Amino acid sequence: MDLSGKVAIVTGSSSGVGRATAEQLATLGARVVVNFAHSEDAARATVEAITSTGGVAQAVRANVARDVECRALVQAAIDAYGRLDVLVNNAGTTHFIAHGDLDAVTDEVFDDIMAVNVKGTFFCTRAAAPHLRASGAGAVVNVASVAGIAGGGSSIPYGASKAAIINMTKVLARVLGPEVRVNCVAPGFIDGSWLATGLGERYEAARAAAAAAAPLGAVCTPETVADSIVALVRDHTFVTGQTIVVNGGAAVG
């Protein structure tokens, strides 16, 4: 797919994988909607990074856990650019809870994680679907995690939410084809502030262990995950319903 002039929404794109993806899509000629829920300054910094090199982008606040805001996010893209070709469902959240601490997983924890990660992916895709179909060659890429395959991750609800995204990818690919392709990436350990904050003093040891387990001898970066997301949008035009594991070749499951 030639991305010149196409329009993409990247949810949760104020930092990390979302920002790297937004920047790569813009470099390839797409006009990008940079979505954020809370980090307005970071989202505007992403927009500035894109526009300063000649790209086209705008920031739009929306909490993807709320259907009405997902619909408003999509409408903002249509109002600004008149079309929608690409949706990257990257927005996600978690709570760092040891798997054995079952009592720490409250209703609020479960609801928070599922609302953003699972409902948000569905709500945004549903809102975008008519416009992606109208594009004639629409593409959706969902961001899951190896936690959804191997049963690991920052908490039990987080792993469950990512497994749900992988399943949803298969179903939505059948529902939205042939006009729209729906695929998924499942990254492993991603180097960056999100895990560093969540893991605290355990971060360096966890990163070293993940790198040692990978045949490529390293962990993901936001940019290497974005590489696979963009490839699913631009290059893999006869692939749908699939989940690509991005973890340097480490065994999963």
Which has the closest alpha carbon to 9: 113, 162, 135, 195? 135
| Phi-psi domain of 237 (left: phi exceeds 0; alpha: psi -120 through 50; beta: other) | alpha
Does residue 172 sit within a domain?
yes
Which has the closest alpha carbon to 197: 77, 93, 75, 71? 93
Which amino acid type is present at position 72? A
Does residue 217 sit within a domain?
no
Distance, in Å, from the CA atom of 239 to the CA atom of 230, rounded to the nearest integer, reads: 13
Is 231 in a helix, a strand, or coil? Answer: helix
Across the strands, what pairs with 52? Answer: none
Q: What is the mean pLDDT of each run of 10 residues along the chain (253 residues)?
A: 96 97 98 96 97 98 98 98 98 96 97 98 98 96 97 95 98 98 96 80 88 93 97 97 96 80
Does residue 88 sit within a domain?
yes
pTM: 0.96
- Give the number of domains in the chain: 1
DSSP characters over 13-36: -SSHHHHHHHHHHHHTT-EEEEEE
Residue 193 CB-density burial (10 A; 0-12 exposed, 13-18 middle, 19+ buried):
exposed
Distance, in Å, from the CA atom of 129 to the CA atom of 47, rounded to the nearest integer, reads: 25
Give the CA count within 13 Å in the CB-facing half-sphere of 169: 30
Residue 207 is predicted with a pLDDT of: 87
Does residue 47 sit within a domain?
yes
Summarize pLDDT for 8-64 with one digit per residue, the tens: 999 999 999 999 999 999 999 999 999 999 999 999 999 999 999 999 999 999 999
Which amino acid type is present at position 25? L
Residue 206 is predicted with a pLDDT of: 84
Q: DSSP secondary-structure letter at 38?
A: S
Residue 133 is predicted with a pLDDT of: 98
Does residue 227 sit within a domain?
yes
Residue 219 is predicted with a pLDDT of: 94
Element (H, E) at 145: none
Residue 202 is predicted with a pLDDT of: 86
Residue 79 is predicted with a pLDDT of: 98
Q: For the chain, how big is the Rg over CA atoms in Å? A: 17
Alpha-carbon torsion angle 174, 132, 115, 201, nearest 10: 100
Does residue 199 sit within a domain?
no
Give the Cβ contact number of residue 58 at 10 Å: 17
Residue 196 is predicted with a pLDDT of: 77
End-to-end CA distance of the chain: 33
Active site residues: 158
Which has the closest alpha carbon to 154: 110, 192, 91, 199? 199
CATH number reported for the structural domain that contains residue 179 in this entry = 3.40.50.720
Across the strands, what pairs with 187? Answer: 246
Is 216 in a helix, a strand, or coil? Answer: coil
Does residue 118 sit within a domain?
yes
Range of the domain at 44: 7-194+222-245
Which has the closest alpha carbon to 242: 184, 180, 188? 184
In Å, what is the CA distance from 14 to each residue of 42, 195, 228? 5, 16, 19
